[in-house]
A and B are shown apart, each in its own frame.
Chain A
Amino acid sequence: MTALSHLDALESEAIHILRETVAEVRNPAVLFSGGKDSIVLLRLAEKAFRPDRFPFPLLHIDTEHNFKEVIDFRDARAAELGETLIVRSVGDSIRSGRVHLRTPDESRNVHQSVTLLDAVQELGLDALFGGARRDEEKARAKERVISHRNAFGQWDPRNQRPELWSLYNARVAPGEHLRVFPISNWTELDVWQYIRREDLAVPSIYFAHKREVVERRGLLVPVTPLTPPRAGEKIRNLNVRFRTVGDITCTCPVASDAATVDQIIAETAVSTLTERGATRLDDQTSEASMELRKKEGYF
């Protein structure tokens, strides 16, 4: 009997976590944005539960500032799987007065927490599966696989439950919920290698394409109606791809000619920048920006 390959071991661990949570909670949902990590998560859900239907709906918290390619992909993938997709919109939270913007054009990324927690309450969810990975960011590196949230949806990093062996304590009191991260131990490279192995489709903007960008604070900012060039910035038409596909207002592409998954893997293996360091405006505002957002209920 040979040991499992590292992708097999990661896959098997994730299946175990998905099944264990589903067995212990009443009403889970899986967060699906159309991004690569949540695409992998859905593949793992197939591995865990087929031929049954998924024992949870897919949930997307839409900032309405997402790339069209990603939203189209999201809808197509949900339809292809034959599973229920629930969308809750930050725009609706703004229109109903639950979210107040300081300026009309500020990033909606941080405001997803309000919409997300409202959805948790509305749908009576007690567990949310997410595609977050510990290698993404230093506050994520501190996250449990099954992470407890109090009745206000808050993470208390100083008081996390011990997580021993692969015995998970998925018990929650009414009003509380869990965030569950089956791919905690995966790296960006693992995700791309798995996408290749499983032959998974991803939104086209992950591959190199020509796009108008401006350079700002060392990052390439895409020129869109939401992110217009500022005075004095020179628009360039560059070959770029996205390493992460979040909210348009805070997600930046990288210069790249990688047009296939194999080329992305080769590029990822030699990259000198982390995924978030290369791509996210919002993580760079302070040492602790992710931690602060997570404490407020961010995923």
Chain B
Amino acid sequence: MTATLARLPAADTLRVATSGSVDDGKSTLIGRLLFDSKSLLADQLATVQRDTARRGASGVDLALLTDGLTAEREQGITIDVAYRYFATARRRFILADTPGHEQYTRNMVTGASQADLAIILVDARSGILPQTKRHAALVALLRIPHVALAVNKMDLVDFDRGVFERVRDDFLALTASLGFEGVTSIPLSALEGDMVVDRGEHLGWYQGPTLLEFLESVTTERRVTGPWRFPVQLVSRSRYGARNESRGYLGRIENGAVEVGDEIRVWPSGVTARIAQIVTLDGSLDIAGAGRSVSLILDRQVDVARGDLLTHAKQAPVVTDRFAARLAWLSPTPLDTRRAYLVKHGTAVVKARIAGVDDRLDIQTLQPIAGPATLGANDIGRVRVETARALPLDRYAEVRATGSFLLIDEATNATVAAGLVEELAHG
């Protein structure tokens, strides 16, 4: 039964995103992680062996495990995020293997936006590349709580300690201005397996954790603390039990917790009520915390619709139609300040205009440059947003769920930018 227990998922799940430049070896690293942690099954391994041989190589090309699209295999690059699931005795993992190529930055952001931890991979020979900087900036922007700097291909620099330390110091110096809370740097060889799961024999001078040890031991951020935030998804038409005039407000608790009896407020209207019942199909709850999808019943008839936000009466968001935000521009079509866009914030969708661009991040120096005319593909910049109606906002740094939004092009329905609220102007 030991094997069974080892593969039965542990209680908590860590979401991990990999990032780094093309050819730094991300796909190989993930393959190595799966291979050495015995998370690969026999037929997957056989398929990779067969595909490796078909390409005229010998052994196992671990990158072929995750590069699942034809174009990726043809070009040997990762185009879109591949999600992998594995578990050790200590933890379950959702790995988002994201592309390094600049053209596919939007897919890297997709993989990273839900991550608890980012692995930033660097080739020990080439050190910090422009795309490493871009990814570091995005990881910092998204405030991913944990960062592992994986200095890969140590086998190609004779496992030299000085090379590792130089890359690590360069990275820390460069990213000092980005506000990372902590970076754990690990030298490794994804190809040969040193310091990924097993310690290997070549990096005796390194005393820190292997990559897997680090992944298994970091504490995950919970959104159960902080103000209660409940975007209303739908209003149920049915009657709930004896209080048969009550409607149910369906949604997921995005932050904090709520208890029966709590005084709450509906935004943007500002009206108040009390929580009468917290309902699920499995019965009513007295208290419910972040991440749980529920139906809420209030003690009185108030006007609540999809797009509204429920909060505790005393933990108000800022309700405003003008605010400053950081945008990660994801579309090949540049920002056009003359056009209207749609902002999707929580469950609300409103028309919006970008009134001006304040600055754009210089990817070489990771410093903002003031006064650009616009933002183009893969740019990160600060803008001023005006919305057609006031939104209940928090700063992204304080509450991720109510501080983030999508910018959608109304003509094409494309998601053109990820938005993070930075500064709130009243009224």
Residues of A within 8 A of B (CB): 1-6, 8-9, 11-12, 15-16, 19-20, 22-23, 46-52, 134-135, 137-139, 141-142, 144, 157-158, 160-167, 169, 171-173, 184-185, 187, 189-190, 266, 269-274, 277-278, 287-288, 291-292
Contact = CB atoms under 8 A, between A and B. Distances in A.
Interface string B167-182: 0000000000000000
Given A185-B85, A266-B4, A273-B43, A139 B11 contact: no
A284 B420 CA distance: 44
B110 A47 contact: no
Contact of A138 (B68, B292, B347, B415): B68
Nearest to B51: A287
A135 B408 contact: no
Nearest to A267: B4
Nearest to A21: B233
A220 B66 CA distance: 28
B293 A12 contact: yes
Contacts of A135: 84-85
Contacts of B281: 46-47, 50
Contacts of A271: 41
B408 A162 contact: no
Given A5-B11, A19-B251, A287 B73 contact: yes
A8 B13 CA distance: 12
Contacts of B234: 19, 22-23
Interface string B1-39: 001100111011100000000000000000000000000
Contacts of A47: 280-282, 293
Interface stretch (B75-83, B155-163, B199-207, B310-318): B75-83
Contacts of A288: 69-70, 73
B414 interface: yes
Interface size class of B (residues with CB under 8 A): 35 or more
B415 A161 contact: yes
A22 B293 CA distance: 15
B68 A23 contact: no
B224 interface: yes
Contacts of B292: 4, 8, 12
Contacts of A287: 47, 51, 70, 73
B322 interface: no
A234 B233 CA distance: 57
B291 interface: yes
Contact of A272 (B42, B66, B79, B85): B42
B7 A141 contact: no
Interface stretch (B127-135, B381-389, B397-405): B397-405
